[in-house]
Structure 1
Amino acid sequence: MKPMMRQDGTEPEVKLPGTAYYHMCAEQTKRDYEIKVWVPESAPPASGYPVIYLLDANAVFGTMVEAMRVQSLRPEKTGVVPAVIVGVGYTAREPFPPDRHYDFMMPVPKEELPRRPDGATWPEHGGAEAFTLFIEEQLKPDIERRYAIDRSRQSVVGHSLGGLFVLQLLLERPGTYRNYIAGSPSLHWNSAWIARQQETFASRMQDNRTEIHVLLAAGELEGSHPSGVIERSRAFTQWLNHSDASGVRADFICFEDEGHISVLPVLISRALRFASRD
């Protein structure tokens, strides 16, 4: 991992206090990622810092860092404890680059893909397994070499397609994180695959020795969206809490008067508190 530079050879225009920036190349796919790491000013606990892996860092890394900096000053009041934030993003300037479709989605048969509103074809997808291996086999070991990390207190946060990725991780690798936080998850993208994974989820949970916490959330104004994100998220939460899998607890929140994008700041704030719970 080397210090991150923009394509024109310059550092980012704005550098948040306490934040390091890197480029990393995935060994398997040769895809480039922009990694941003914020570390608390306070000394780590004896067990190490909790760590939050944040997807779509292009869009929400700054939001999470500023919320953490303010709220973790008084954890006894806010319920937010200092944690390392690892943002996984891209070198592109836009907040939601098309590369995320490849990284966040399992392969989906063409006939099962939802129709795009403008009629165009969707960006390339199907690289979620490779992206997972990049995080688990490259990114996490590097972060744990550089910083004092408590591996028993790891969280992952994603929104929309990132929320879908978080739930795919939960279903396939339920012991990878302690807290899985999925905002407005695009469960309609891969419903057949998800249904198959749900059938065998309890058996995968048998080997998990720690309690898993799951938070699903959506904005109230998303209720009219044809994806049915609120209904699907609520149903997924109910399934988790009533499944045969032991050691998993799920919550669903519908944020009043928020839409698919405006929900992000309140989701990020709630995610910090959720990830801080013992």
Structure 2
Amino acid sequence: MGSKKRDLCSSAVHIAGVSEFTIPRTKQRLMYSHYGNREYRIFVAQPDADPPPLGFPVIYVLDANSVFGTMVEAMRVQAGRPDRTGVVPAVIVGIGYPTEKPFSPARFYDFTMSVPESELPARPDGTAWPEMGGAEAFLEFIETELKPEIQRELPVDRTKQAIFGHSLGGLFVLQVLFTKPTAFRTYIAGSPSIHWSKQLLLEAEQRFVARITHETLNVDVLLAAGELERSHKSRINAHAEELVKRLSAFTDFGVYVEFQEFAGEGHVTVLPALISRALRFVSRNSI
């Protein structure tokens, strides 16, 4: 009898076919940048909804190999009921690299300004850091090559563009905020590596402050980190909180800023929670 039961159970399992799974309404392509002759893997997700009269908000996501899928699925689940979730449908554009690994060494070049090697933190394994200093060229690629391509293909609202970056990507987000604040409406910098080029970033911040006291801007800025990062020697949380405190003085000049710390999360585990919070933050002016 026991043998018969096992046979019946095994015969009940029938696999009709196996195929790769893809996230609905997403696509990817390779793009070559004229700035530095670099190659990027671009991921795009389009909402399953009718666009608003002025088009969808659009979120540009750095390190897309690691976070694009998480953000798209979070959007797909939450954007169906904006009245309850606070999340509206948006186009998501991921900027990644031609690799199947979650992170590429190429990010070190794209996300950083030129910093003397003597000022860089020591690498944990003792080896030299990859080439750096390509942030300006990377921003040129986004502004003059990638954005026009997306705007030709999809109905997006150019007044509601956001950029999301984490770690060195968060540092890049802040560099864009301070050097070209009109590039995006919303800036999300998760666990930003402010310590990486603290002096250069501070100088850029000072120029930004001088600008906004004469020119009113409308930018929303979210800085965030995991609670467990508070004990890291790079002082990620402290640097972020100090920056938020300084920027909060300019609310009347069109700068809205928040800091969010996620309980029980570290430098990498903070990403899913941050992504969910970022979607609501991007949507705050669209509901």
How far, CA to CA, are the matches of 1:207 and 1:65 in structure 2? 38
| Kept after mapping to 2: 8 A contact 1:185/1:233 | yes
Q: Which amino acid aligns with 2:241?
A: R
- Indicate yes or no: 2:23 matched with 1:23: no
- 1:258 is aligned to 265
Deviates more, 1:13-22 or 1:249-258: 13-22
- How far apart are 1:16 and its partner, in Å? 1.3
Q: Which runs of 4+ in 1 moved over 2 A?
A: 202-210
Match of 2:245, SS state, is: helix
Match of 1:175, SS state, is: helix
How far, CA to CA, are the matches of 1:244 and 1:84 in structure 2? 28
| Kept after mapping to 2: 8 A contact 1:174/1:208 | no
Deviates more, 1:250-259 or 1:240-249: 240-249
- How far apart are 1:202 and its partner, in Å? 2.2
| Kept after mapping to 2: 8 A contact 1:51/1:149 | yes
Unaligned runs of 5+ in 2: 1-19
Map Cα deviations across residues 71-101 of structure 1 (whole Å, 9 max, x no partner). 0011000000000000000011111110000
How far, CA to CA, are the matches of 1:153 and 1:257 in structure 2? 32
- Indicate yes or no: 2:196 matched with 1:189: yes
Unaligned runs of 5+ in 1: 1-12
TM value normalised by structure 1: 0.93
How far, CA to CA, are the matches of 1:45 and 1:209 in structure 2? 27
Distance 1:210 1:246, change over 3 A: closer
Deviates more, 1:143-152 or 1:204-213: 204-213
How far, CA to CA, are the matches of 2:215 and 2:89 in structure 1? 26
- Indicate yes or no: 2:249 matched with 1:242: yes
| Kept after mapping to 1: 8 A contact 2:35/2:138 | no
The equivalent position to 2:68 in structure 1, one of 56, 61, 71, is 61
- Indicate yes or no: 2:58 matched with 1:51: yes
- How far apart are 1:14 and its partner, in Å? 4.2
The equivalent position to 1:136 in structure 2, one of 143, 156, 166, is 143
- 1:118 is aligned to 125
- Indicate yes or no: 2:112 matched with 1:76: no
Q: Which amino acid aligns with 1:139?
A: L
- 2:100 is aligned to 93
Paired positions, count:
267
The equivalent position to 2:230 in structure 1, one of 219, 223, 234, is 223
| Kept after mapping to 1: 8 A contact 2:185/2:220 | yes
Q: Which amino acid aligns with 1:34?
A: R
Map Cα deviations across residues 2-31 of structure 1 (whole Å, 9 max, x no partner). xxxxxxxxxxx5421001211100012111
- How far apart are 1:216 and its partner, in Å? 0.2
How far, CA to CA, are the matches of 2:284 and 2:251 in structure 1? 24
Q: Which has the larger radius of gyration?
A: 2
Q: Which amino acid aligns with 2:98?
A: T
The equivalent position to 1:271 in structure 2, one of 278, 282, 287, is 278
| Kept after mapping to 2: 8 A contact 1:23/1:34 | yes
Query: Could you say which structure has the higher helix fraction?
Result: 2
- How far apart are 1:237 and its partner, in Å? 0.6
Q: Which amino acid aligns with 1:259?
A: G
